[in-house]
Amino acid sequence: MGFLFEKCTFAVLDEDTIKECDPFSCGHQDLDDFFHNDAPLYNAQLLGKSYCFRSDKNPSDIVCAFTVSNDSIRVNILPNSREKKVQKDIPRAKQMRRYPGVLIGRLGINKEYKHQGIGSDLMTFIKSWFIDAGNKTGCRFLIVDAYNENIPLNYYLKNGFKYLFSTEAQEVEYTGFETGTHLKTRLMYFDLIDIMPYPNNSSKDSIDGNY
């Protein structure tokens, strides 16, 4: 197990936690501003729920944080080839125009704790969380609207996410932007059935087999 699981404690990121802890900084101004100022507001308005891991050695340190909310993948707006790719492992009788998922709205690692494998540990935790038997709702996909920058895109690719649209140009076309627009974010997804233990998962993959 990594640093995150051995030396940190999971907690809700609410106003009390923010007051108790040192200012969280992952080195990205937009993310820092969200976790400092907006996370409690999102929680109060039922728009997103934020969580974090705090250091056991230094409880005032927020090691990493993330926000999740309900979402879905609308396959009826996808190009035919992408629609087939998303639906390929879903039984035909259950095919729908949209499939339930969870949006990872924000995710950041404290810049003082970089290069310790925490990012991958955190994503493993999130994936496991939503296939746990205690999960009270259907959640087929994890979805992220990732910053269209090399570091976040490579992070999600490394952790098994795929682009919802095959190219940026295709995403521009099918999401209603003007041709030639450079997108600030790219839609990506992870199919949680890929880590469901056999026999629930027809691909027979286990959670440990994908990392």
Centroid of chain to Cα 109: 13
Supply the pTM of this predicted model. 0.87
Quick check: is 203 in a domain?
A: no
Domain-located, residue 48 = yes
- pLDDT value for 1: 58
- Asked whether residue 210 is domain-assigned, the answer is no
- Token couple for 18: 């923010």
Task: Name the domain count of the chain.
Answer: 1
CB atoms closer than 10 angstroms to residue 103: 17
Kindly state whether residue 10 falls inside one of the protein's structural domains: yes
Q: In this structure, what CATH number is given to the domain that contains residue 129?
A: 3.40.630.30
In a domain, 166, yes or no: yes
In a domain, residue 201? The reply is no
Which pLDDT tens digit goes with each residue over 102-160?
A: 999 999 999 999 989 999 999 999 999 999 888 888 899 999 999 999 999 999 999 99
pLDDT in tens, 158-178: 999 999 999 999 999 999 999
User: Is 211 part of any domain?
Assistant: no
- What is the residue range of 7's domain? 3-195
